[in-house]
Chains A and B, each alone.
Chain A
Amino acid sequence: MEKVLKASHFNKYFTEPDRFQVLKDVTFEVNKGEFLAIVGKSGCGKSTLLYLLSTMDTEYEGTLEINGQTLTGRSQDYLSKFRNEHLGFVFQFHFLLPEFTTLQNVMLPALKLGRYSEKEVEHRAYEKLKMIGMEDHARKLSSKLSGGQQQRVAIARALINDPTIVMGDEPTGNLDKTNTGIVFDIFREIAQENHQTIIAVTHDPDFAAGCDRVIEMSDGMIISSHENQI
């Protein structure tokens, strides 16, 4: 199996208010096209780990390798470009740009990437919105959407550049049963058909149960990793 992400010996400390170790020698690998769930009690360090994997947090010990590239020690600009092209995020709290329309929010990372013309980008953004059932709200200001709707738009945005890895910090945390189902199905589908990798932190046992593999964390350490039999 092709490895798409390698995290080796991650150690991370917070110095405020007191120095304490959030992550303790976290090491794991993720396969291409894998749908991975990270679970664990609140405060065990899941979000912190995800921010390291996302390349946004660069203060850690250990090495991170994605798509065969070592990302530890790279410049901020390099990492920005890398994120833009290879990574997609869904944050724990739905984060959209409030002054932009739904469609514009989805289009922005693609316009930044500049791989497609603006027309094509718009077309692709529409496709993604359709996928999550938000195409009717395309022209609405994103601040006028409900929490759940914003979360779905954020997912469409994460997918716009067809990233190698999609990371989600409780991506269904604010969604009802139906919407959770929709999001899960989308993740499932892109993992299977596009061989994109999904890494999702979740509290939802049903969500975790549907993934290919579940990593369980406790107190900054990985305590178990098991594949689900489907």
Chain B
Amino acid sequence: MNLSITTQIAKTHLLSKKRQTLVAMLGVTFGIAMFITMISFMQGVNQFLEDSALDASPHVRMYNEVNTQRPALIDQLNRSDSAFNVIYHQKPKEQLSRLKNGFLIARRIEQEPGVLGVSPQLSTQAFYNNGPIQISGTIAGVDIDRENRLYNLKSRLKSGTIEALRSNPNGLIMGNVLARKLNVREGDKVSVTTPTGGTMILRVVGTFGFGIGTVDNTKSYANLSTVQEILQKDASYVTDIHIKMFDPLLALPLGKKLRAMYGYYTEDWATANSAILAGEKIRNVMTFVVSMTLLVVAGFGIYNIMNMNVINKIKDIAILKATGFEGKDIVLIFLLQAVFIGVLGGLLGLLIGFILSYLLSITPFNAGDFLSIKTFPVIFDPKYYGMGLLFGLITTVLAGYFPSRKASKVDPVSILRG
């Protein structure tokens, strides 16, 4: 193969029209830079949302769904096709959302393979009162050590300690945004009222922040026995079992299995966070659509320029063929130019993409209370850079191949005859 001679010719062609080469290159550069920036940013957002949402939610949650749509008794007993029953104002039956034998179930689940931790808990809606301020939220009665094992609560504490809750039966660890709204701090008291009417004054012994608005805004942790006391329930009353796995993907089959085993509803993280996962998919599609569009546009630019190039060089091609260059040499001469444009433009694009993503990653971004970030989330993953370069190369080779083929098909006689 005459690689060196074809390379030399390709180089000479490129250098003899630097401006065209530069324009073609910048097309690729722009496309790749955008691709890198977008994918780094979008994946950063995905990762951030996924992390913060998944960190704060159980892999599997087991609970008892309260079904208020019970059939009327008379319909069950007196059923006939020739008559119908009329019932006015049927009241829903009082139903407890308790998990019977919750602790036993929890202990059993702990034995399942792949389970990192299990936390049986009692969760209820509550009103928080501090003087005239009244805010609704939820309160979870937990075994704080178990809960810590699941959600790494220690690292989420903004003030106070977990031990303080353990040692203080009337303690409360409150979401930091909720605490701010209530204007309470570690050591202050709030009154908690449940929908069933129970009230208790609890002392804030700590605050936490998951960085997710819907949690930090509304939730507090108390000791399980405390919440049972407010609700006036017995010591075995739990409503939820939260389960964390070592591998989140194993949560899906486990959820199904537990549901079949115990007859309670189970919800896995994928279902619970389907909005986030859907958003992720949309962002991925968007990233690829935009990047591909840019690359296709760049590809057409290269195609155009290479085509013009071939037309301008048609005499040269005829001479080369006349003096013994074969079709594949000619293809190589022009393809090499496209590849050179692709590689150089691509590398420049990677650099610019990196710089743009870096600038983005240090740009201050205030998401308010909703998300706990200070700058845009950006992921720097070599994989994206490899992908960018690959896409750039594929585009340029494709865009360069067809003009190159055309060049190799030039009939020298018709050109040289003059």
User: Shortest distance in angstroms between B393's beta carbon and chain A's nearest beta carbon?
Assistant: 26
- With a cutoff of 8 Å between Cβ atoms, the chain A residues found around residue B321 in the complex are 56, 80
Kindly provide the distance from the CB of B150 to the nearest chain A CB, expressed in whole angstroms. Answer: 71
The answer on a CB contact under 8 Å between B324 and A80 is yes
Q: Is the CB of B319 within 8 A of A76?
A: no
B71 within 8 A of A: no
Which chain B residue shows the least CB distance to A101?
B12
**Binary contact readout B120-158 vs A (1 if CB under 8 angstroms, 0 otherwise):** 000000000000000000000000000000000000000
Given contacts A56-B412, A57-B413, A111-B2, contact A97 B319 (CB under 8 A): yes
User: Is B5 in contact with chain A by the CB < 8 A criterion?
Assistant: yes
> Which residue among B322, B324, B418 has the maximum number of chain A CB atoms within 10 Å of its CB?
B324
B329 smallest CB distance to A (angstroms): 7
Question: Which chain B residue has the least Cβ–Cβ distance from A89?
Answer: B322
Cβ of B5 and Cβ of A108 under 8 Å apart? Answer: yes
Instruction: List B contacts of A96 (CB < 8 A).
Output: 319
Q: How far is the CA of A77 from the CA of B409 in the complex (A)?
A: 12
Interface status of A93 (Cβ within 8 A of chain B): yes
Q: Is B308 an interface residue (CB 8 A)?
A: no
The verdict on B189 contacting chain A, using a C-beta distance below 8 Å, is: no
Q: Judge whether A174 is part of the interface by a CB distance below 8 angstroms.
A: no
Residue contact B413 to A51, C-beta cutoff 8 Å: yes
The reply on A227 being an interface residue by CB < 8 A is no
Instruction: Assess the B5–A54 pair: CB atoms within 8 A.
Output: no
Q: Kindly identify which residue among B316, B320, B322, B418 contacts A54, using a CB–CB cutoff of 8 Å.
A: B322
- Which parts of B364-418 form the interface with A (CB within 8 Å)? 412-413, 416-418
Closest B residue, CB atoms, query A97: B316
The answer to whether A83 has its CB under 8 Å from any CB of chain B is yes
Quick one: which of B5, B12, B324, B417 contacts A99, CB cutoff 8 A? Answer: B12
CB distance from B379 to the nearest CB of A (A): 45
**Nearest Cβ distance between residue B410 and chain A, in whole angstroms?**
11
- Report yes or no: B13 in contact with A83, Cβ–Cβ below 8 A: no
Q: CB-CB < 8 A to B319: which residues of A?
A: 95-97
Which A residues lie within 8 Å of B418 (CB)? 92-93
> CB of B315 within 8 A of chain A?
yes
Asked if residues A76 and B416 are in contact (CB atoms below 8 Å), the reply is: no
Q: How far is the CB of B320 from chain A (nearest CB, A)?
A: 8
A85 within 8 A of B: yes
- B417 engages A47 (CB within 8 Å): yes
Interface centre among A77, A96, A109, A157 (most CB of B within 10 A): A109
Please tell me if the beta carbons of A77 and B324 are within 8 angstroms of each other in the complex.
no
Asked whether A84 lies within 8 Å of B324 as measured between CB atoms, the reply is: yes
Kindly name the residue among B322, B323, B328 whose own CB sees the greatest number of chain A CB atoms within 10 A.
Answer: B323
Give the distance to chain A from B331, nearest Cβ to Cβ, in Å. 12
Tell me if B16 is interfacial: C-beta within 8 Å of chain A: yes
Instruction: Give the contacting residue for B323; candidates A77, A100, A109; CB below 8 A.
Output: A109
Task: Judge if A114 is at the interface, Cβ distance under 8 Å.
Answer: yes
B51 contacts the other chain (CB 8 A): no
Min CB gap B412→A, angstroms: 5
Residues of chain B within 8 A of A108, CB atoms compared: 5, 9, 320, 323
Q: What 1/0 mask marks residues of chain A from 72 to 109 whose CB sits below 8 Å from any chain B CB? A: 00001100111111000101110111111000100011
Q: Is the CB of B416 within 8 A of A77?
A: no
The residue on B at minimum CB distance from A57 is B413
A113 at the interface (CB under 8 A from B): yes
Chain B 268-289 residues near chain A, CB threshold 8 A: none
Expressed in whole angstroms, the minimum distance between the Cβ of B227 and any Cβ of chain A is 84
Asked if A111 contacts B323 (CB within 8 A), the reply is no
Contacts of B16 in A (CB 8 A): 99
Establish whether residues B324 and A113, one from each chain, have CB atoms under 8 Å apart when the complex forms. Answer: yes
Q: CA of A81 to CA of B8 in the docked complex: distance in angstroms? A: 20
Inter-subunit contact A112/B322 (CB<8 Å): no
Residue pair A85, B324 in contact (C-beta under 8 Å): yes
Bound-state CA distance A104–B15 (Å) is 15
* Residues of chain A with a CB closer than 8 A to B327's CB: 76-77, 80
A132 and B39 alpha carbons, distance in the complex (Å): 62
- Closest Cβ–Cβ distance, residue A57 to chain B (whole Å): 5
Contacts A47-B417, A111-B5; is A95 near B324 (CB within 8 Å)? no
30 contacts between A and B (CB under 8 A): A51-B416, A56-B322, A56-B412, A56-B413, A57-B413, A77-B327, A77-B328, A80-B321, A80-B325, A82-B324, A84-B323, A84-B325, A85-B324, A91-B416, A92-B418, A93-B418, A95-B322, A95-B416, A97-B319, A97-B320, A99-B12, A99-B13, A99-B16, A108-B323, A109-B323, A109-B324, A111-B4, A112-B2, A112-B5, A112-B325
Known contacts A51-B413, A76-B326, A82-B324, then 20 further A-B pairs from the complex at CB < 8 Å, ordered by chain A residue? A51-B417, A56-B412, A57-B413, A76-B327, A77-B328, A80-B325, A80-B326, A81-B324, A83-B322, A83-B324, A89-B322, A91-B322, A95-B318, A95-B416, A97-B316, A97-B319, A99-B13, A108-B9, A108-B323, A157-B323
| A contact set with B: CB distance below 8 Å | 47, 51, 54, 56-57, 76-77, 80-85, 89, 91-93, 95-100, 104, 108-109, 111-114, 157
Closest 4 pairs (CB-CB, A-B): A84-B324, A99-B16, A80-B326, A109-B323
